[in-house]
Amino acid sequence: MAFAILASFVSALAALQVANGALTRRVTCADGSVTSDAACCALFPVIQDLQANLFDNGGCGEDVHESLRLTFHDAIGISPAIASRGQFGGGGADGSIALFEDVETNFHANLGVDEIIDEQRPLLQRSNISAADFIQLAGAIGVANCPGAPRLAVFVGRQDATQPAPDLTVPEPFDTVDSILQRFEDAGGFTPAEVVALLASHTIAAADHVDPSIPGTPFDSTPELFDTQFFIETQLRGTLFPGTAGNQGEVESPVPGEIRLQSDSELARDSRTACEWQSFVNNQAKLQSAFAAAFRKMTILGHDEGSLVDCSDVVQQPPAPASAAHFPAGLSNADIEQACASTPFPTLPTDPGPVTSVAPVPPS
């Protein structure tokens, strides 16, 4: 009896080891890279090309910011509500924004994305992967160059678009909170909390066209870092315009050289999103995990995940966080416009020294 039990235990252990081996099976590619699936091998030369010829050898600059923006502007181009009316509702993350650039870049919400599409095009053409996969890969690899960023999901196997996405699927900075939340819910069932998480992308973003007189104006004081400053500084009382006043979709910001979108300001103060917004203020770990989860959902819009290959292990480990939550010099808790009714705004230190202007993000 004891022998039978022992034999059964050994058999079970062997089966577990086989199962674990299957789960952890690795593939060695022709260039020596190791990954989880042979389909992912094609990505390594593409990544090398991106880093060397688009991202300034691993930098977190303008082309990273714009590549991340492009992932969203392509993926959000899907509307089941439009499709329910018998019209084409878009294919989500299907590369249509690049494949039908002459159509989609003329949509008002896509103003300026033609620049990164054109910069990416030579790399896409020599990549041997779909435009849909390339756009999402470029965003994930670029973000991983930024200190404090999470590793983002990468999938391959998307089919490229055969027609452009419809207009009015990309939210605008002058849209109401109601409109923005409805658009995200329609596109992919995103909750208000997931919308807030996706806006963590603005921590490494800059605006070129909201105020055309000051291109490259960042949304927070540390655009080279994936940190929580965006969520802090959007809750500070606005006192100035960094360039000219009266621009559609812009409201006053708290720091010289920093721009604030109307939509960011209103989402930071709306009762449906304010507490979630504030929850990121001094929680880098939550910022990373929530953004990674929301990006994973966004990056496969229009596709069945089961039909795709998960190649997330090709993404490099991002540099460690390089800053702690703080107020810019000259500002403090007294300058916060408290919007979360249930939790006080955290007490944070203030940067020492005189008030300075945030420098624009240099062009690539």
Q: Is the pLDDT of residue 9 over 60?
A: no
Name the residue range of residue 89's domain: 34-335
Position 41 in a domain: yes
> How confident is the model over 23-70, as pLDDT tens digits?
557 999 999 999 999 999 999 999 999 999 999 999 999 999 999 999
> How confident is the model over 128-181, as pLDDT tens digits?
999 999 999 999 999 999 999 999 999 999 999 999 999 999 999 999 999 999
Q: Are the C-beta atoms of residues 204 and 146 closer than 8 Å to each other?
A: yes
Is residue 108 flagged as an active site residue? no
Q: Residue 28 is inside which H or E element, if any?
A: strand 27-28
Position 349 in a domain: no
How far is C-alpha 75 from the geometric centre of its chain's CA atoms?
A: 11
User: Is residue 227 a known part of a binding site?
Assistant: yes
User: Is residue 94 a known part of a binding site?
Assistant: yes
Query: Given this model, what pLDDT does residue 353 score?
Result: 87
Mean pLDDT is lowest, of 8-17, 195-204, 350-359, for 8-17
User: Is residue 202 a known part of a binding site?
Assistant: yes
Q: Is the pLDDT of residue 22 over 60?
A: no
Counted domains in the chain? 1
Contacts of 129 (CB under 8 A, 6+ apart): 42, 43, 46, 137, 156
Position 214 in a domain: yes
CATH of the domain at 140: 1.10.520.10
Structure confidence at residue 98 as a pLDDT band (50, 70, 90): very high
Position 344 in a domain: no
Please tell me the number of Cα atoms within 13 Å of 131 on its side-chain side: 22
Spot the catalytic one: 73, 108, 209, 303.
Answer: 73
Q: Is the pLDDT of residue 229 over 80?
A: yes
Position 51 in a domain: yes
Position 353 in a domain: no
Distance CA 227, CA 284 (A): 7
